[in-house]
Each structure stands twice: as structure tokens, then as C-alpha cells.
Amino acid sequence: MASTTSVATWRTASDRARLTTLALAVLGVGLFGVSFLLGPADLAPGTLFAGLMSGEGPAGVIAREIRLPRAALALVVGAALGASGAALQGLFRNPLAEPGVTGVTSSAGLGAVLALYFGLAASSAFLLPAFAIGGALASALILFVLSRSGAGAMALVLAGVAIASLATALTALGIALLVSAARGLDALTLGEDAARSLGIDVARTRLVLVAGTALAVGAATSVTGVIGFVGLLVPHVLRPFVGHRPSLVLPASALAGAIFLLVADIGLRLAQPWMDLRIGVLTALIGAPFFVWLVLKTRAELAP
């Protein structure tokens, strides 16, 4: 009887998580459309979509070169940061784990800065994201080891399309790697010995998560700069709705991260005439107080 009740509860939680994920997907598509339509140029939706299809005239340039890439980057980068945060929290079984907190984001930023400082980014469109991913990978490998033991402005502008395309592709690859390790993360919540008894290759799961996080965060940071706290805040907000199984939290966090960044980007564009804020500053203003609250909450729960 108890077993039947447990199975029923498990199915109810899974159904609730799927409904939440579906709702997040619909909301994300809607916000992507709002982000695409919003901008300083006063273009009617019909004109903008016609420009997107034809690529001709001012509307075509605005639609294809400005509005669509910006909305797509907010969507993909938000998804990368949200999924990476959920993956790291599951891997280390630590509610404070997040790409920014664990140093992955800042290391990716350092790699990008080195590429810019030594002029390498101006010589090739691919070196900026490559250095950012390398920085993220170096930081992520340190985390992996710890877990096992317990340019010219004009040149950059002209190379922007190539950089964004490569970074988006690598980010999507990183997200795919993280999602592919979801089953192993589910097993790791039971402990390493239990995961091995279920046939999970623990070392391989860790390696896939490290590589996925490095690709996703490194590629995202090379395009947008450092954006913190998305990976920390999003999974915690979602868990009351989707439960604590990483295989359910990961896809939901990717969608919610995309929504969070789209909303932040839309808010900044609406507020731009009155204030000049970068999106990373806005996410820090929201996420830093949440991080402090989470630390105090965790300390109180661990106190005897």
C-alpha cells in the first residue's frame, strides 16, 4: 500500500513538473515575440515581420541584425545559465552552487578579457568565445577535481555575427550535454554508492556536467559579458513547482532562465530613456539579496 502511494505521489509530481515546463515554454515563446517587437524604431509588427522575411530595407536590417539576434541571445543565454545552475546544484548537492558563485562565469570573463587584451579577438572571430570557454573550462575542471575528491572595436563589431553564431551553437551544445546527464544527476541525489549500484558511471556523469557547464557558460559570457545569479535564483524558484528531481528541474530551469533574461532585457529597454543599466547589473541587484537570504536560511537549517 505504501509503495502504491509512493508511486502515485511520484507520478503526480512528474505531471505537475511537465505542466509547469509546458507553461514556461509557452511563456518563453510569448516573451521572445515581445522582445522581437520592442525597440526604439517605431515599426509596426507587420512591417517588422515583412522585413524579417525579405531582409530588404531598414526594416530588414533592424529585424535580422538587431531585434532577432538580441531576442535569441537573451533566450539562449538565459537557458544556459538556468540549466547550468540547476546542474551544478544537483552535482554538488549544494543549494548555493551556481556558475557565478563557483567562479565559472568570472573565469569565462577572464578568458574573454585576455583575448581582447592581447588583440587575439581582432585577428579571428572564433578566438573570443574560444578563450571564454577555455576560462570556464579551467574553472569547471577545478570543480571536477574537487568533486572527485569529496581588440579593436570595429573588428569586433564586424565579427559580431560570426561570434554570436558560434557562441549560440556552443551554448546549445552545452545545454544538450547537461540535459543528457539528467538521469545520472537523479541517481547522484541518492549518493555515489547508490548511483553506482544503479549502473551510473559517476565519473562520466561528472565529466559531462563539467564540459556542458563550461561550453554553455563560456560561450554565453563571450557574447553578453558576465551575468550573475540567474543559475542560483531560477532553480530555487522552480523547485516548489517541479520538485527536486534534477531531470525535471533542468529543462524547467533552462526555460525559466530564458524567461528571466528576456524579461530583464525587455525591462531595460523600456527603462532606457531614464536610466543606463547593463543586464548583469540588474540581475545582480535582484540576485544578491536572494543569495544573502539563502545563505542565512541554509545556516539556520544546519544550526543544531
* SS3 label, residue 239: helix
Q: For the segment 137-148, what is each residue's pLDDT rounded down to a tens digit?
A: 777 776 666 556
Interatomic CA distance for residues 123 and 114, integer angstroms: 13
The answer on pLDDT for 93 being more than 90 is no
Alpha helices in the chain (DSSP H): 2-37, 45-54, 57-61, 68-92, 104-117, 120-123, 127-148, 153-158, 160-180, 182-188, 192-197, 202-224, 230-242, 246-271, 279-302
Q: Residue 38 has what DSSP assignment?
A: -
* Averaged pLDDT, 76-97: 81
- % of the chain surpassing 70 pLDDT: 78
49 φ, ψ (degrees, to nearest 5): -70, -35
CATH code for the part of the protein at 16-50+69-302: 1.10.3470.10
Question: What's the confidence (pLDDT) of residue 24?
Answer: 92
Cα dihedral 284, 285, 290, 295 sign: positive
Q: Which three cell numbers stand for residue 170?
A: 556552443
Say if residue 168's pLDDT is above 70: no
Average pLDDT over residues 224-239: 81
3-class secondary structure, 169: helix
Three-class secondary structure of residue 57 per DSSP? helix
> How is 109-134 classified by DSSP, letter by letter?
HHHHHHHHHTTHHHH-TTHHHHHHHH
Scan for cell 554570436, then name that residue. Answer: 164
**Is 33's pLDDT higher than 80?**
yes
Does 36 have pLDDT greater than 80?
yes
Angstrom distance (rounded) from CA 76 to CA 83: 11
Q: Cα separations (Å) of 165 from 108, 117, 304?
A: 18, 22, 51
| Spatial separation of the C-alpha atoms in residues 175 and 216, rounded to whole Å | 6
pLDDT, averaged across the chain: 76
The most confident of 23-27, 48-52, 78-82, by mean pLDDT: 23-27
Confidence of residue 164 (pLDDT cuts 50, 70, 90): very low
Average pLDDT over residues 215-234: 77
Q: Which of the four pLDDT bands, split at 50, 70 and 90, describes residue 153?
A: very low
- What is the pLDDT at residue 9? 60
Domain spans of the chain? 16-50+69-302
Question: Which has the minimum average pLDDT: 137-146, 173-182, 244-253, 270-279?
Answer: 270-279
CA distance 75 to 264: 11
Nearby residues of 293 by Cβ (< 8 Å), 6 or more positions away:
none
